[in-house]
Amino acid sequence: MAVSLSHFGETLVARMVSELRGDFLDLCKLNGSADKGFLANGHEIAFRERPLLPYGGIGFDGASRVDLVVRLSKDEGTPFEIKLGATRLSKTRIDEEWLSGCDFSHGGKRFRGNMMSILERKFPKGVLLDDLRIEIAEKPPLKLTPTWFVIAKNSVLQSWRGKDRPAFSNRVRFLPFEDIVDRYGGKKRFNKVVEELLSFDYYDQWVKGKGS
């Protein structure tokens, strides 16, 4: 089976963000919210597929992982959802499946729901207000900003205009994937990093099952 962009898009975007650092924050217009002194010390800023810590004392299902969190300071980061496919991204699907809200599972001990609903704070009535956080190797955990991003192909974002715009709140910003690639250096550098990410021993990994 051919490898598609959507199969490893999160890894690819995280790699570009890690190398771009301040240039990526500038692209997202997040520089004003960032602690430039802290970021200049070379701390890791891109965290991929991170689970959420409990919200209001209630945990999340294991599938509830943020695609990417970009660190702004010692204790704060901005979440990004990465949708790099070209299909199944219609207003109807997003509104009815991804933005439909969260409910309880495991007898009220956990939340279940799409990450977009979680980032929009669409929790059941009566849940105590809290901050969304992810745990990282360093302390303290990162608090997620109320503002969050969707990274998608420009053609998809263009289709979300007017009456076809999904029911996102005003806390959501959109970032074209192509803009990240352009800021990263365009075709030549992009192809180089993709080759590096896909350079592994397919036989050992897929047939013999060595490695992750």
pLDDT at 6: 79
Q: What is the pTM of this model?
A: 0.91
Q: Has residue 212 been placed in a domain?
A: no
Within 8 A by CB and 6+ apart from 129, the residues are: 56
pLDDT at 206: 73
Q: Give the whole-angstrom CA distance, residue 159 versus residue 15.
A: 27
Range of the domain at 67: 5-207
SS3 23: helix
Q: In terms of C-beta density within 10 A (0-12 exposed, 13-18 middle, 19 or more buried), how is residue 102 classed?
A: buried
Q: Give the whole-angstrom CA distance, residue 142 versus residue 127.
A: 21
Nearest to 174 by CA among 47, 100, 80, 91: 80
Q: Has residue 88 been placed in a domain?
A: yes
Q: Has residue 127 been placed in a domain?
A: yes
149: enclosing H helix or E strand = strand 148-152
Tabulate helix, strand, coil % of the chain (nearest 5): 35, 20, 40
Instruction: Give average pLDDT by consecutive 10-residue segment, the chain, 212 residues.
Output: 76 97 97 92 94 95 93 97 91 96 93 96 94 93 97 96 96 98 96 88 75 50
Indicate the number of domains in the chain.
1
pLDDT at 86: 82
Q: Give the whole-angstrom CA distance, residue 45 versus residue 21.
A: 7
Q: Has residue 66 been placed in a domain?
A: yes
pLDDT at 211: 55
